[in-house]
Amino acid sequence: MTMQNSTTSVAIVGAGPTGLLLAGDLAQAGVDVTVLERRDTESNLTRAFGVHARTLEHLDARGLADELLGEGARVARLSLFDHIRIDLSTMPTRFPFLLITPQYNVEQLLEKRASAAGARIVRGAGVTALRQDADGVELTVDGATVRADYAVGADGVHSAVREALGLPFPGKSVLTSIMLADVRLAQPPPDVLAVNAVGDAFAFVAPFGDGWHRIFAWDRRHPMPDTAPVTLEDIREVTRRSLGTDFGLQEARWMSRFHSDERQAPHYRVGRVFLAGDAAHVHSPAGGQGMNTGLQDAANLGWKLAAAVQGWAPDDLLDTYEGERHPVGKLVLRSSGAIIRMAMVRSRAGRLARNVLGGVALRLPPVAHKAAGTLSGIGIDYPHAPRAADVPLLDSRRLYEVLRDGKHVLLAPAAAEPQLRETLGRVVLATPADATTPWTLVRPDAHVAWRGAPAELHTALGRAGLTG
């Protein structure tokens, strides 16, 4: 398409899940937002396949989770290897499971919401240059100029935005020649997921709930470049070797080959430009955390950018995006890396030790809870802003339903209403069903901004930039 010179409050580069969630949040908050996507058309050839509990909570806080739940299969217990199992069913959430659904289902849902809220999504718009000054950011898009107050690079591992900023992307390739396919099986696995590694190969099989299954397969014996074609027999052979059967693999709707990197940008913010999703961090597919981490980046950044554009953000609010999300990206690199390295253990003795020791450790409640919390995202807090539980309210709603307005929520008795007059409508009052719940100010991203005595509320509201 032919681009015209234009202006916008926030320019988002990339219309994947991360960019679309961010665009929807900003548009819902009344911010003028434009999404620039280099692809002309949508692509269904996507690698992500699972939505974890914390991401489902973020979608629930936007009224989207229930629709997505009808699009996939739920997995409450993950079997990583022979005797290593992670139980998600005990997580303190409405969503104690991993939802298996292809990435394009998530993208379609988020694009529909963003467009309905007023976000402009421009396809065939490749960003070729970026510069910024004290007042804004200028992006060159196919010869035209887009001027924005802020810009976000959500444009993936080969991010043009990150490259334009001159940021390095340190790390390394961990695995090459991972085969990926969506297939039909004559005899699906008896468990929802089938996973195993045998030293020189591993395979992972998961259902989408529509008759198709996603297979990841890796073969140490025959490494190939990413450009090498994949055949059904390649998939069958590695699946048989890893899992003892190919489950009657019949056909594939698409097959691909890719390599797995572990990389993270040193900064997520440079002036008025931010990085999110794979543009900021990329890691192995083990644990299915990639898309989820990007969506959680967007949930953290969206309300902060809206506050900055609308002029009420505290001076350091935008800095907290990198401060809170960079450590989470690093944690995900470590946890997914640990899983993939366990899968690559080569010797029989090493695999036996992995299975026995891992199985014993995960039978210890503290270890099991920590593993499930990290994988699902439910156990990931920010240093000064823990996750807010979805508490029931006196009016029969839940906290996350009230968060759908995209505002801060004060959990307090109804008598607290007069104390919110100075917030200019930026805070919604909700009364917990449990009268012993302490006064709590919840951020739009479902993290606790403050919890304390009623006399401290005015100070807390001022510190959050919510008064005046």
Residues 129 and 233 in one domain: no
Number of folded domains in the chain? 3
User: Treating both helix axes as pointing N-terminal to C-terminal, what angle do 290-310 and 17-28 enclose, rounded to 10 degrees?
Assistant: 30
Residue type, 163: E
* 83 contacts 368 by C-beta, under 8 angstroms: no
pLDDT (average), residues 441-458: 97
Go through 125-136 and write b for each residue having 16 or more CB atoms within 10 A of its CB, e for each that does not: bebeebebeeeb
pLDDT band at 42; cut points 50, 70, 90: low
Q: Quote the CA–CA distance of 251 and 230 in Å, as a whole number.
A: 13
> What does the alpha-carbon distance between residue 13 and residue 20 come to, in Å, rounded to a whole number?
10
Range of the domain at 293: 6-49+102-169+265-344
**pLDDT confidence of residue 222:** 83
Both 320 and 241 in one domain: the answer is no
Q: State whether 157 and 181 are in the same domain.
A: no
Whether residues 131 and 18 share a domain: the answer is: yes
Q: With respect to residue 269, please indicate whether it lies within any of the assigned structural domains.
A: yes
For residue 377, give the nearest of 320, 336, 322 by alpha carbon.
336
Residue 269's pLDDT band, with cuts at 50, 70 and 90, is very high
28 & 145 share domain:
yes
Token pair 């009344």 is at which residue?
A: 30
Q: Is residue 141 part of a domain?
A: yes
Does the residue 247 lie in any domain? Answer: yes
Output Rg (C-alpha) for the chain, integer angstroms: 23
What's the one-letter identity of residue 77? R
Residue 359: pLDDT above 80? Answer: no
160's CB contacts (< 8 A; 6+ apart) are 13, 126, 127, 128, 130, 153
Residue 33 lies in a domain: yes
Structural domain includes residue 420: yes
Note the pLDDT tens digit of each residue in 404-424. Answer: 999 999 999 999 999 999 999
Position 343 scores a pLDDT of: 63
* CA–CA gap between residue 72 and residue 99 (Å, rounded): 6
- pLDDT one-digit tens code per residue, 222-252: 888 888 889 999 999 999 998 999 999 989 9
- For 329, the 3-state DSSP assignment is helix
Q: Are residues 236 and 319 in the same domain?
A: no
Based on the domain organization, do 241 and 309 belong to the same domain?
A: no
Question: Under DSSP, is residue 28 helix (H, G, I), strand (E, B) or coil?
Answer: helix
What confidence tier does 464 reach under pLDDT thresholds 50, 70, 90?
very high
Contact 41, 64 (CB under 8 A): no
Mean pLDDT over residues 39-60, rounded?
83
Sign of CA dihedral 419, 424, 427, 428: positive
377 part of a folded domain: no
One domain, residues 156 and 253: no
Same domain, 273 and 247: no
Q: Please give the pLDDT value at position 1.
A: 54
d(CA 160, CA 426): 35
Which of 261, 277, 297 terminates a domain? The answer is 261
- Greatest CA separation found in the chain? 70
**Residue with more model confidence, 388 or 142:** 388
Do 112 and 188 lie in one domain? The reply is no
- The whole-number pLDDT of residue 327 equals 97
**pTM assigned to the model:** 0.92
The predicted-structure confidence for 156-196, as pLDDT tens digits, reads as follows 999 999 999 999 999 988 777 789 899 999 998 887 777 77
Q: Kindly report the CATH number assigned to the domain that includes residue 178.
A: 3.30.70.2450
Residues 160 and 175 in one domain: no
Residue 286 pLDDT exceeds 80: no
Q: Which residues are 73's β-sheet partners?
A: 100
- Alpha-carbon distances of 39 from 24, 44, 276, rounded to whole Å: 19, 12, 18
Q: What are phi and psi of 200, to 5 degrees?
A: -105, 10
Contact 153, 19 (CB under 8 A): no
Degrees to nearest 5, angle at CA 282 with 85 and 357: 25
Amino acid symbol at 259: H
Q: Distance between terminal CA atoms of the chain?
A: 44
Where among 261, 288, 323 does a domain terminate?
261
User: Do residues 234 and 279 both lie within one domain?
Assistant: no
| Coil/strand/helix, residue 380 | coil
Quickly list H helices, 13-120: 17-28, 53-60, 65-69, 103-117
User: What angle is formed at CA 198 by the lines to CA 196 and CA 200, rounded to 5 degrees?
Assistant: 125
Q: What is the mean pLDDT of residues 15-39?
A: 97
Contact yes or no for 286/336 (Cβ under 8 A): yes
Residue finishing a domain among 210, 241, 261: 261
Q: Helix, strand, coil shares of the chain as percentages rounded to 5?
A: 35, 30, 35
